[in-house]
Each structure stands twice: as structure tokens, then as C-alpha cells.
Amino acid sequence: MSDCDTCLVRNRAICSALMPDELAVLSKLGRKQNVTRGQTLVWEGDESLVVANVIQGVLKLSVSTQDGREQIVGVVFPSDFIGRPFGKESPYGVTALTDAEVCIFTRTAFDGFAKEHPDLQHKLLQRTLDELDRARQWMMLLGRKTASERIATLLIEISDRLGAVGCSAIAPFLDKFELPMDRQQMGDLLGLTIETVSRQLTKLKEAEIIELPDRRSVVIKDRRRLENIATAA
């Protein structure tokens, strides 16, 4: 049995488009790699040497501003694809927010395989369009939503994305999870100050919509109310 046969995200990653014999070939081209929290997998502006499927954990995509500050421009979850196939340079850095596991390929080997498998290229295009849609939705979030709506949206997103691994179709989300980022990183992602993030989380807690057992843990007590806040705009 290959690693692909037991992969946690086998049915949702881009390689789900492949037949078993094709998957066996792709499996030989890649390798699993553990990434520790804070470790950078891809550096912004460097030659794009690797691509990867995220198996476990959460990573951030970030760029540097002209004055040297970091701006988080995206977060990737299990089954997401990272890297830039058919590209020369990476437009962003990829750093682990939590301990993570990825299935990593050299870009050259992956590009060669993808050129011979149209179904995989189609899946890549579909994933790219999905990411474009998500980016447009995030632009709307940053431009139109209030601070409380942004926080609620992020909590629902994390709940849904982390819950998609191993959860049933009846409840494909998690109502108890560890935040993959601290409050400062949440603020960077949402365009809010750390004080505003903390204040909004406290308001949700006082309204008994969520519980905060510690600085990282979140328990969603009233998902419907949280969703109503997230979609109010």
C-alpha cells in the first residue's frame, strides 16, 4: 500500500483526478515532509523549486511590504495545493502556522507529470479559479464587513476547513478547534488591530456565542448566531 492509499486528503486534493496507476507514478515523484511551526517552506521572490499538497496543519501565505513589514495574504488548510506550477518565481512566502505535513514535489517533476495528464491540469485550473473566487470574497470582507463580521467569518472558515478532514457529511465542520494563528496574525489577515481582535472575541464570548478556554482554543456554542453575524453584510 502506498502513502497515497492512506492519505487523509486523498479524495479532496488535486490528485483525486488521477486513476490508481497514474497515482502510483505520481507517488514515486513526491515525498512526505514534516514542517514545524514557524518553518518557511517557500521564500517570497525565490525560484519556485517545489510544489506541495497540504496533508495536515495550516500554513500562511505572506508578502513583504516596502517598509519590511509582513502582510498575510492567505491561509492554506489540509488538501490545499501550494507552490507555483509552470512558474519561475514564488510571489509569496509559505510558512507553517502550526506543525504540518505536506506531500512535496520538485516543480520540474510535477510540471512534467502534469503536462502528460490533462485531468490533473484541469484540477489545477479548477483549484486556481476557486482560489480566485475566495480572494474576491476576501476583498469584499476587508472592504465592506465590520470588525465583528470579519472575526465571525474567519472563525466559520477555520471551523469548516479544519472540519472537512474526517468529518461526516452531516456535520462537515468542527465546533471545537485550536486557532492556527495568534491574535496579531488574525489582525494582519483581517485588517484589524490586535486590540480590536481581542475585543471582538471577548464580545462573542460574553454573548455566549463562543467559548475561549485558553488563548488558542475556540468552542462554537451557537453556530447559527455566528453564521448570522458573518453573513450580515
Confidence of residue 174 (pLDDT cuts 50, 70, 90): confident
Q: What is the pLDDT of residues 67-101, one digit of tens each?
A: 888 888 889 999 999 988 887 888 899 999 999 99
The mean predicted confidence, pLDDT, of the chain is 87
Do 83 and 50 meet the contact criterion of CB atoms below 8 Å apart?
Answer: yes
In a domain, 137, yes or no: no
> 89 and 154 in one domain?
no
Which residue, 127, 156, 185, sits at the end of a domain? 127
Do 181 and 61 meet the contact criterion of CB atoms below 8 Å apart?
Answer: no
> 156 and 117 in one domain?
no
> 154 and 116 in one domain?
no
In a domain, 188, yes or no: yes
Which residue, 93, 127, 161, sits at the end of a domain? 127
In a domain, 140, yes or no: no
> 151 and 86 in one domain?
no
> 157 and 113 in one domain?
no
Which range of residues forms the domain containing residue 74? 3-127
> 178 and 120 in one domain?
no
In a domain, 135, yes or no: no
In a domain, 111, yes or no: yes
Weakest-pLDDT range from 63-72, 88-97, 163-172, 188-197:
163-172
Do 123 and 14 meet the contact criterion of CB atoms below 8 Å apart?
Answer: yes
> 23 and 117 in one domain?
yes
Predicted structure pTM score: 0.84
> 151 and 55 in one domain?
no
In a domain, 9, yes or no: yes
CB atoms within 10 A of CB 36: 10
Report the domain count for the chain.
2
> 67 and 8 in one domain?
yes
DSSP 158-201: HHHHHHTTT--SSS-S-SEEE-SS-HHHHHHHHT--HHHHHHHH
Asked if the model's pLDDT at residue 117 lies above 60, the reply is yes
pLDDT of residue 192: 92
pLDDT > 70 fraction of the chain, expressed in percent and rounded: 94
> 68 and 157 in one domain?
no
